Amino acid sequence: MLFSKLYAPTIKEKPADSETISYELLTRGGFIRKVAAGIYTYLPLGWRVIKKITKIVEEEMDKIGAQEFMMPIIQQAEIWKESGRWEDYGPEMMKLSDRHGREFTLGPTHEEMITFIVRNELRSYKQLPLILYQINQKYRDEIRPRFGLMRAREFIMKDAYSFHSDEKSLEETYQDFYRAYSKICERLELNYISVEADTGAIGGTDSHEFIILASTGESDIYVCDSCGYSASEERAQSKIPENIPEEIEPLEEVPTPNVKTIEDVSEFLKVSKEKIVKSLLYVGRNGYVMALIRGDYELNESKLKSLLKDQTLRLATPEEVQRDFGVPIGFIGPVGIDGVKVQKVADLSIKNLNNFVVGGMKEDYHYINTNLNRDFTVELWGDIRTVKEGEGCPKCGNQLRHTKGIEVGHIFKLGTKYSEKLNGYFVDEEGKNKPYLMGCYGWGISRTLAAIVEQLHDDNGIIWPISVAPYTVEIVIVNTSDEEQRTFGFKLYEILKSRNCEVLLDDRETSAGFKFKDSDLIGFPIRITVGKKLKDGKIEIKKRYEEKGVEVSIKKGLEEVVDLIEKTIEEYSTKFIQNNLTIS
């Protein structure tokens, strides 16, 4: 490809709506253009990268026996109503209707559709396991699209679905996906980790996320450097703190005028926060839920939701609390509340706590010396607290480290959740009808494009790994009106092309500096400069991530030069530079 013909409009200035480094560099480099909030066009360079990412993903999918196919983007409302997610997913969906008023959605995901497709003809255990996948556009009406391609309303995703007759088969496929996703990250030459994750709105049992590390990422993760434990913030656990047992004191009600927050209570009653139990009132599908946690910890809403299997859970408003309990929110507590009206859920951090402080269920009062079982009971125990950096690893006890990244892949064991609801049954060896076990596996293709840039860039532009670079080699003819340079540049270009090297020739009639700036901004891995030194029989080969290139004599013949270029391509690796760049 000749640069003079390539539609890659580059921009010198930072776009005014520049949100993140990937948005800025991909826009300036002529890879993408924003069309509306969260909606993008992929220009030729961007599309080349997308296709390369896609190819890697497809190859790894094919290797584990997944079959590629294609489902429609427009989906009828009926199947979503059947699964109950027309309401649950609700505002997140782009909805539309045809001229007859029949409702549709632009698919935000395809669990309903896949089950609809297979439920009539996937009827025998002999057909299982089955793995299908597709790559297409997904639509989510995000409340606030942000971070460029990282949270778009229209985005490209690979989604795979698997069907199994038993748990063992599901587990095997889950592991296959786990390995395939790791392989994809490795082929992309990225610094990544996989973490235990929350299943969220998709539901199911086990789940892992694949995170590309970048300080600008929006996923918070906790890792243990000594045993390798890693988990997302929604899921991460830490060693349960030990509470020293004390002699039990009698319950006492004390006046605490206008003392509402944990800080206030701690100060007013001169007790440490560890000796206070925070009561948070939530409203869920089955009414009120009171979450109890030690005063020095933060509640983790994702954990609470998955413990209660209720994604609709939300904090009760002060008005609701006042109306239904007659107490301002600062004074609610577990004592005197019965388990029918309010389900009490407690974090393990208060399990052995004695003589603690709770709200008095009466304005301006708290209880001191409260004790479990004697003064109130807990209906459900679980881990519902947010982990903090420095706490002990749940497996080995070493300190947990906090880091950030971008979630590009997410795998789930769904179990029978969708097959049961959507009538996806098969007949087993004994002739019995059973719902199949399912797994679903997502990979954000367009998000990967952005994530790579977030991880691999410097002040001058993008640093593509060879595996996904729009072109592997760029030849820059410094002075296009110099006949010798021109001739040599074109000759080398033709040879490289004939060797199946993806090469771009910058033949534009602009200044040298202009071409070099574009070259760094776009981020071709290897740049060959054909300039004034050609007179002395020399050209330069430079790796994008190195300061200086190497001068190469062309006197021994072009074959040798081309061999050297190919060797440079082989040696090129973004791996070792990553820690010096943006990862913190």
Partner RNA sequence: CAGGGUGUAGUUCAGAUGGGAGAACGCCAGAAUCGGGAUCUGGUGGUCGAGGGUUCAAGUCCCUCCACCCUGACCA
What residues from 461 to 480 belong to the interface with RNA (CB under 7 A)? Answer: 478-480
Applying CB under 7 A, does 486 fall inside the site for RNA? no
Distance between CA atoms of residues 409 and 577, nearest Å: 24
What residues from 238 to 277 belong to the interface with RNA (CB under 7 A)? Answer: none
Q: Which of 491, 532, 556, 567 binds RNA (CB under 7 A)?
A: 532
Applying CB under 7 A, does 446 fall inside the site for RNA? yes
Ranges of H-type helices in 188-269: 262-269
Q: Which of 4, 5, 14, 571 binds RNA (CB under 7 A)?
A: 14
Applying CB under 7 A, does 24 fall inside the site for RNA? no
Residue with smaller CB distance to RNA, 150 or 170: 150
Q: What contacts 223, CB < 8 A, 6 or more positions away?
A: 193, 195, 229, 230, 400, 401, 403
Shortest CA distance to 30 belongs to which of 8, 14, 5, 15?
Answer: 8
Q: How far is the CB of 408 from RNA (least distance, A)?
A: 5
Please give the distance of CA 514 from its chain centroid, rounded to a whole number: 36
- Binding piece for RNA, criterion CB under 7 A, among 321-329, 362-370, 440-448, 566-574: 440-448
Q: Greatest CA separation found in the chain?
A: 98
Shortest CA distance to 250 belongs to which of 371, 407, 350?
Answer: 371
Q: How far is the CB of 125 from RNA (least distance, A)?
A: 29
Residue with smaller CB distance to RNA, 147 or 297: 147
- Binding piece for RNA, criterion CB under 7 A, among 4-12, 288-296, 425-433, 553-561: 4-12
Applying CB under 7 A, does 443 fall inside the site for RNA? yes
- Binding piece for RNA, criterion CB under 7 A, among 78-86, 259-267, 393-401, 438-446: 438-446
**Which single residue is written with the structure tokens 């003392």?**
259
493 and 503 Cβ atoms separated by less than 8 Å: yes
Residue 163 backbone dihedrals phi, psi, to 5 degrees: -130, 135
The DSSP secondary structure of 328-386, one letter per residue, reads -GGG--STT--TTTEEEEEEGGGTT--SEEEE-SSTTEEEEEE-BTTTB--SEEE--B-
**Which single residue is written with the structure tokens 């969220």?**
200
Q: Which of 58, 82, 142, 420 binds RNA (CB under 7 A)?
A: 142
- Binding piece for RNA, criterion CB under 7 A, among 150-158, 331-339, 376-384, 417-425: 150-158
What residues from 187 to 216 belong to the interface with RNA (CB under 7 A)? Answer: 200-202, 209
AA letter at 186:
E
Applying CB under 7 A, does 134 fall inside the site for RNA? no
Residue with smaller CB distance to RNA, 140 or 413: 140
Other CB atoms within 10 Å distance of the CB of residue 533: 17
What residues from 28 to 47 belong to the interface with RNA (CB under 7 A)? Answer: 28, 34, 36-37
Applying CB under 7 A, does 15 fall inside the site for RNA? yes
Q: How far is the CB of 342 from RNA (least distance, A)?
A: 22
Q: Which of 4, 5, 11, 258 binds RNA (CB under 7 A)?
A: 11
Q: Which of 328, 339, 397, 549 binds RNA (CB under 7 A)?
A: 549
Shortest CA distance to 227 belongs to which of 218, 217, 235, 239?
Answer: 239
What residues from 276 to 295 belong to the interface with RNA (CB under 7 A)? Answer: none
What residues from 375 to 414 belong to the interface with RNA (CB under 7 A)? Answer: 407-410
Applying CB under 7 A, does 539 fall inside the site for RNA? yes
Ranges of H-type helices in 271-365: 301-308, 318-325
AA letter at 502:
E
Other CB atoms within 10 Å distance of the CB of residue 338: 9
Distance between CA atoms of residues 476 and 527, nearest Å: 7
Distance between CA atoms of residues 584 and 406, nearest Å: 13
Total site size for RNA, rule CB under 7 A:
72
| DSSP collapsed to 3 states, 399-437 | EEEEEEEEEEEEEEEEECHHHHHCCCEEECCCCCEEECE
Q: Which of 122, 135, 150, 463 binds RNA (CB under 7 A)?
A: 150
Q: How far is the CB of 374 from RNA (least distance, A)?
A: 35
- Residues 216-245, one symbol each (x = binds RNA by CB under 7 A, - = not), give --xx--------------------------
What residues from 302 to 321 belong to the interface with RNA (CB under 7 A)? Answer: 302
Q: Which of 97, 261, 377, 511 binds RNA (CB under 7 A)?
A: 511
- Binding piece for RNA, criterion CB under 7 A, among 137-145, 332-340, 345-353, 553-561: 137-145
Structure tokens at 481: 């009106």
Applying CB under 7 A, does 481 fall inside the site for RNA? yes
Q: How far is the CB of 258 from RNA (least distance, A)?
A: 26
How far the first Cα of the chain sits from its last, in Å, is: 37
Residue with smaller CB distance to RNA, 421 or 533: 533
Collapse the DSSP code of 263 into the 3-class scheme (helix H, G, I; strand E, B; otherwise coil) and give the result: helix
Q: How far is the CB of 324 from RNA (least distance, A)?
A: 22
Question: 79-94 burial, b if ≥16 CB within 10 A, otherwise e?
Answer: bbebbebbeebeebbb
Structure tokens at 494: 């033709």
Q: Which of 529, 568, 574, 582 binds RNA (CB under 7 A)?
A: 529
AA letter at 508:
R
Applying CB under 7 A, does 80 fall inside the site for RNA? no
Q: How far is the CB of 234 from RNA (least distance, A)?
A: 8
